[in-house]
Amino acid sequence: MITYMDRVVISAAVPSIQKELGISIVAMGWILSSFRWGYALFQIPGGWLGDRIGPRRALTLIVTWWSGFTALTAASFSVNSMAAVRFLFGVGEAGAFPIATRSLSRWMLPTERGYAQGITHAGSRLGAAFTPPIVVWLIAEYGWRTPFYVFGVLGLFWAALWFWYYRDTPDEHGSLNDAERQLIREKLGAPNKRAATDVPWGIILGTRQIWVLSSMYFCYGYCLAVYLDWFPKYLNAHRGFDLKQMGFYASLPLLAGVFGDFLGGWLSDRWAHSSGNLRLARRGVGSFGFALAAAGILPATLTPDPHLSVVFTCLAFFGLELTVGVSWAIPLDVGGDFAGSVSAVMNTMGNIGGAISSAVVGYLVQGYGWNVPFLVAAALCVTAAFLFARIDASRRLFT
Q: What is the pLDDT of residues 220-267, one digit of tens each?
A: 999 998 988 888 888 988 898 887 788 788 889 988 988 898 899 889
The whole-angstrom distance between residue 371's C-alpha and the CA centroid of its chain comes to: 24
Over its C-alpha atoms, the chain yields an Rg (Å, rounded) of 20
Report, as an integer, the average pLDDT of 7-19.
Answer: 80
Q: What is the spatial distance between Cα 356 and Cα 119, in angstroms, rounded to a whole number?
A: 28
Q: Between residues 138 and 47, which one has the greater pLDDT?
A: 138
Average pLDDT of span 113-130: 82
pLDDT tens-digit map of 261-299: 889 988 998 999 889 899 999 999 999 999 999 999 999
What is the C-alpha separation between 94 and 41, in angstroms, rounded? 8
Other beta carbons within 10 angstroms of residue 149's beta carbon come to 17
pTM: 0.76
Contact yes or no for 393/111 (Cβ under 8 A): no
Q: What is the mean pLDDT of residues 363-371?
A: 91
CATH class of residue range 2-388: mainly alpha
What are the C-alpha distances in Å from 145 to residues 13, 64, 84, 181, 311? 9, 19, 16, 47, 31
Q: Which of 373, 272, 262 shows the shortest CA–CA distance to 321?
A: 262
Model confidence at 312, in pLDDT bands (50, 70, 90)?
very high
Q: Mean pLDDT throughout 43-56?
A: 84
pLDDT of residue 399: 60
Share of the chain above pLDDT 90, in %: 37
CA torsion through residues 223, 225, 227, 231, sign: negative
Task: Give, rounded to a whole angstrom, the gap between the first and last alpha carbons of the chain.
Answer: 34
**391: three-class secondary structure by DSSP:** coil
Cα pseudo-dihedral 368, 132, 262, 116, rounded to 10: 110
pLDDT at position 74? 87
- The band of 193, judged by pLDDT with boundaries at 50, 70 and 90, is low
- Least Cα distance to 224 among 113, 342, 349, 71 occurs for 349
Pairwise CA distance, residues 117 & 113, whole Å? 6
CA gap 85, 294 in Å, rounded: 34
Q: Look at 164 and 139; give whichever has higher pLDDT.
A: 164
Provide the residue ranges of all domains of the chain, joining segments of one domain with +.
Answer: 2-388
Cβ burial of 178 (10 Å; 0-12, 13-18, 19+) is exposed
Q: Are 333 and 272 in contact (CB under 8 A)?
A: no
- Max distance between CA atoms of the chain, in angstroms, equals 63
- When pLDDT is cut at 50, 70 and 90, the band that residue 162 belongs to is very high
